[in-house]
Every structure is written in structure tokens, then in C-alpha cells.
Copies of this chain bind each other. A is one copy, B any other.
Amino acid sequence: MREGPRSGCPINAAVEALGDRWSLIVLRDIVFGGRRHFRELLANSEEGIASNILSSRLKALVAGGLLTQEDAGRGHRATYSLTEAGIDTVPVMAVLGSWGLRHRETTPELRVRAQLMEDGGPALWADLMDELREIHLGVPRPHPERERASDRLREAYERAVAAEAAAAVH
């Protein structure tokens, strides 16, 4: 590990914490995939993350204060939780997703979530962050009457997958 940041620039500070080809992908799977355990993160990885890379990135994210790890004791699976700093990467992922939508070839079922995040804008991001605070930090959602952001994202994703499957049959 480095002793300190390379400079006092906030962009540099964020890039040092997040600017790795895998760290944000691991966070994405925790935020949008609801995965909390090593095996889930490994087995369901869309990008086929390697076991040793996942292990090192989880350690780095814990060391960097973006995740906490609760050890359930011998023989039990450790659970990873987002910290406030980890939850606050939601806008970063939203704008990264928007950039990817506009400037890279992507697949329809994986586009839909980024598109919904872009269309929903900061209001949807805030709802998702409130929901993550409830799940990961135990802070009740301030607007429990609203449909969960994660449900809206999952429904949109499932519709897109179903549409893809229907299109593949024809």
C-alpha cells in the first residue's frame, strides 16, 4: 500500500479509491446485484472475475472504507456491507453507465439498468442510496411509501431479459 495520496486533488483521491478496472465492478454487483458474500460475487460475475482478484479488491475496498466485513465466525460466510462512502458511489456508477451507453457498444439487457438510472436522474439515485442505507447500515428509508428503487431496476431488467429471450426465439 502507498503511504498517502499522490496529491490532494479530490478527483485523484476518488480515482485512487475507485479507479481500478475491477473495484467499481465489485461495488456495482453489491449495489445493483444485492450480493453480500464472496461466493455470490464470484459465481454470478458477468465479467468472470478471478477469485484472487475478487479477494484482493474486497480487501482494498474494506481498507479504503467503502465496505465493512462482518465475520460470522468459523465455517460461516463473511458478509460485506457498504459504508456511507460506498453508497455514495451510486452517482459515480450512474454517470459511468451513461458514458458507456453513449460511447460503447453494450448489450440490451445490461443497458436497461444504466438507462433507467440516467432517466431517473438524481432523484432515483437518492432513493436507491436511501434503500442501500436501510439494507447495509440499518437506517430506515425516509420514504417507505415509495416503490423501492431496486424493485424498479430489477423489474426493468427482467422485462428486458424477457424481451431478449422472446426476440431470440423468433
Q: Chain A residues in contact with chain B, CB under 8 A?
A: 5-21, 23-25, 28, 46-48, 65, 84-85, 88-89, 91-107, 109-111, 114
Q: How many copies does the complex hold?
A: 2
Pair A7/B110 contact, Cβ less than 8 Å: yes
Q: A95-B92, A99-B89 are in contact. Are A14 and B104 (CB under 8 A)?
A: yes
In the assembled complex, how far is the CB of residue A155 from the closest CB belonging to chain B, in whole angstroms? 18
Nearest B residue to A23, CB-CB:
B19
**Interface SS of chain A:** helix
Q: A85-B103, A95-B92, A98-B91 are in contact. Are A21 and B16 (CB under 8 A)?
A: yes
Pair B104/A5 contact, Cβ less than 8 Å: yes
Tell me, in angstroms, the Cα distance from A34 to B103 when the chains sit together: 23
Pair B14/A25 contact, Cβ less than 8 Å: no
Nearest B residue to A47, CB-CB:
B6
Q: Which residues of B contact A97 (CB under 8 A)?
A: 10-11, 14
Nearest B residue to A118, CB-CB:
B10
Pair B95/A10 contact, Cβ less than 8 Å: no
Q: Which residues of B contact A11 (CB under 8 A)?
A: 24-25, 28, 93, 96-97, 100, 114
Nearest B residue to A24, CB-CB:
B15
Pair A91/B85 contact, Cβ less than 8 Å: no
Q: A10-B97, A11-B97 are in contact. Are A17 and B88 (CB under 8 A)?
A: no
In the assembled complex, how far is the CB of residue A23 from the closest CB belonging to chain B, in whole angstroms? 8
Q: A7-B110, A19-B24, A92-B92 are in contact. Are A46 and B100 (CB under 8 A)?
A: no
